Amino acid sequence: MPQDNLRDGTTEGKALFAAFGALAEGHIPDMVISAAMNLVLSAIRQSTARRASALEKLDELFGRSAGALMEHYDASTGRRRSVVPFDQVVSVAHVEFPTTFGRLGRKNGRT
């Protein structure tokens, strides 16, 4: 089961994530994604002087992020996985159902 690794593990990273989350609350997902992307691009642009370095940083970031995101989806079904661990297992006891048909080879199930 994947852990929620989309959040930065540092105290400062968690605080930034919580602050952004509080500001984003109530907004539609597309607006939140757009604002987050603008923050990412702005941070890369301000911290990287050369185009090639900026593109390299963006590629590395998206590569790691894509891997982290895909851990939250089932590879065979393509559906989102739950990040809540399941500690209970349900098992069905063996149940025998009587046949609705008589013995094979006998007319109408009679002997």
> What global pTM score does this model have?
0.60
Q: What is the pLDDT of residue 78?
A: 87
Q: What is the pLDDT of residue 17?
A: 83
For the chain, give every domain's residue range. 11-85
- Are the C-beta atoms of residues 59 and 52 closer than 8 Å to each other? no
- Among 8-12, 36-40, 50-54, the minimum mean pLDDT is found in 8-12
Phi, psi (deg, nearest 5) at residue 7: -95, 145
Burial 80-100 (b: 16+ CB within 10 A, else e): eeeeeeeeeeeeeeeeeeeee
59-103 pLDDT, tens digit each: 999 988 888 888 888 888 888 887 655 554 555 555 566 666 666
Looking at per-residue confidence, does 31 or 4 come out higher? 31
